[in-house]
Amino acid sequence: MSVSPLRLGIAGLGTVGGGVVRLISEQSDLLQARCGRPVQVAAISALDQNKDRGLDLSAFDWHDDPVVMAGSDAIDVFVELIGGEGGPAKASVEAAIAAGKNVVTANKALIAHHGTALAIEAEGRGGSLNFEAAVAGGIPIVKAIREGLAGNNFSRVYGILNGTCNYILSAMRDSGRDFADVLNEAQALGYAEADPAFDVDGVDAAHKLAILTSLAFGCPVNLEAVHIEGIRQVSAIDIDFATELGYRIKLLGIARLMDQGVEQRVHPCMVTEESAIASVSGVFNAVVVEGGYIDKVVFEGRGAGEGPTASAVMGDVIDVARGNRLPTFSISADGLRTIQSTTMDHHVGPYYVRLTVIDQPGVIADISAILRDRNISIGSMLQRGRDPGEPVPVVLITHECKEKALTKAMEQISALKAVAEEPKIIRIEAL
Ligand SMILES: NC(=O)c1ccc[n+]([C@@H]2O[C@H](COP(=O)([O-])OP(=O)(O)OC[C@H]3O[C@@H](n4cnc5c(N)ncnc54)[C@H](OP(=O)(O)O)[C@@H]3O)[C@@H](O)[C@H]2O)c1
């Protein structure tokens, strides 16, 4: 008995879309065996029909308008690989959902901004919304949280969620060079976009973190609640001090469930050299999930690129082909419950503080007194070089303290005559 093929409509034929078309053509026998039915590209859409993509696309129905393709009876699954939080990506996904199609997307911006509303709509109409490729590329973290680890209460989910930032920080550490220099190199090598803001300012990682938070804690996706800092302010001297103190600096996305609510933050962190995440370097991503019955599970892999992202897209397509329909964010979308968000003022942790102070008697005593008055105790102190009357760096590692208290103390310390520059603060994350 012949079984009906699963027919895909693929919108976007760039890095990811091209990779998906290639994977399907190269792996068709394997896909058929694993799905129990053939998986076929039926229709495609992109901006320029005449562009040479190094692929034979002649057998597929071409659509200038992805919205029209999304509602076509000739497809079973709409695969959105255009990108962007609105525009044709959103319009076509909405059209596919309205037509009751299953949707697969790699679009983190779309899911981070509109994921909850789209999930409610998709589930209400009997379709599914799948976005494995939107978080950490080739790492099947959505599947892991939604399925393999679904028996756990999660306490914290965190990771290196942006390969460009991890590449830049790793290269800065290896070469001793500063951010701007390494960014230029990353752009020349194709690891960073011409406009790197989305990556280096932490926005891309925030999109992924907001999605992970919803999956792990069963709350609506809340991108606005994510505290976001990028890596532009990380300097070679801080990387150097971090190494001396036994730490690495990583841009982490961290979601933590606490008594006061859920904390979501993306910022540079100091992590100890022994932590699993410290050794994840270059363009690699890692995600760590902590839960009641698992202690922690660490996932590592390539977070971007044609092959890993196409692999993740196909994981979702295979689920649809097999008839696996799962609640979009681990629980049904209308069951997502708002959890109070905490602000960074309430954050408690140890901190790295680098001060630039004029080397003169009494200055360290003044700084210590301000910290003591705000209940901030110093775990260790490092002074590099002695140069009476000249500015020298002094590094303090605090014990756990409230961020609000530290911020206030830094305002006072900045006002001291002997403090030559704004203090530099990096949060230390106990992992
Ligand atoms: N690249 C990665 O490694 C990676 C990793 C994870 C997730 N993602 C996500 O995957 C998605 C696609 O990324 P990408 O890197 O493949 O982007 P890309 O290389 O820029 O490709 C975008 C594609 O969309 C097409 N397109 C643009 N506007 C369109 C419209 N109005 N109608 C139909 N097609 C249109 C473009 O057509 P033309 O080719 O004709 O210009 C192009 O083929 C994004 O959401 C991205 O965040 C990417």
Would the CB of 51 count as within 6 Å of ligand 1? yes
Ligand 1 centroid to Cα of residue 198, in Å, is 15
Would the CB of 93 count as within 6 Å of ligand 1? no
Ligand 1 centroid to Cα of residue 303, in Å, is 16
Would the CB of 423 count as within 6 Å of ligand 1? no
Is residue 360 left, alpha or beta, with left meaning phi > 0 and alpha meaning psi from -120 to 50? beta
pLDDT for position 385: 76
Tokens of 417: 């005559």
| Atom from ligand 1 closest to the CA of residue 53 | 39
Residue pLDDT, tens place only, 350-375: 999 999 999 888 999 999 999 999 99
Tokens of 180: 């701007």
Ligand 1 centroid to Cα of residue 81, in Å, is 5
Average pLDDT per consecutive 10 residues, the chain (431 residues; last block may be shorter): 90 98 98 97 98 96 98 98 98 98 98 98 96 97 98 98 97 96 93 94 98 98 98 96 97 96 98 97 97 96 96 98 96 96 94 95 94 96 85 96 97 96 96 92
In this structure, which residue's CA is closest to atom 35 in ligand 1? Answer: 46
Ligand 1 centroid to Cα of residue 283, in Å, is 20
Closest CA to 67 of 44, 105, 93, 46: 93
Asked if 345 and 403 count as a contact pair (C-beta separation under 8 A), the reply is: yes
Cα–Cα distance, 177 to 181 (Å, whole number): 7
pLDDT for position 333: 96
pLDDT for position 1: 60
**Owner of token pair 């001090």:** 241
Ligand 1 centroid to Cα of residue 55, in Å, is 16
In this structure, which residue's CA is closest to atom 12 in ligand 1? Answer: 81
pTM score = 0.97
Residues that are catalytic: 208
Ligand 1 centroid to Cα of residue 51, in Å, is 14
Q: Which residues are CB-neighbours of 85 under 8 A, at least 6 positions away?
A: 107, 109, 110, 112, 113, 114
Would the CB of 367 count as within 6 Å of ligand 1? no
pLDDT for position 383: 86
In this structure, which residue's CA is closest to atom 31 in ligand 1? Answer: 88
Would the CB of 346 count as within 6 Å of ligand 1? no
In this structure, which residue's CA is closest to atom 38 in ligand 1? Answer: 47
Phi, psi of 87 (to 5 degrees): 55, -150
Cα–Cα distance, 128 to 146 (Å, whole number): 14
Residue pLDDT, tens place only, 103-144: 999 999 999 999 999 999 999 999 999 999 999 999 999 999
In this structure, which residue's CA is closest to atom 20 in ligand 1? Answer: 14
Would the CB of 211 count as within 6 Å of ligand 1? no
Would the CB of 38 count as within 6 Å of ligand 1? no
Would the CB of 133 count as within 6 Å of ligand 1? yes
pLDDT for position 370: 97
Q: Which of 47, 62, 104 to mutate to test the pocket of ligand 1 (most atoms within 8 A of CB)?
A: 47
**Owner of token pair 């082909």:** 321
Would the CB of 46 count as within 6 Å of ligand 1? yes
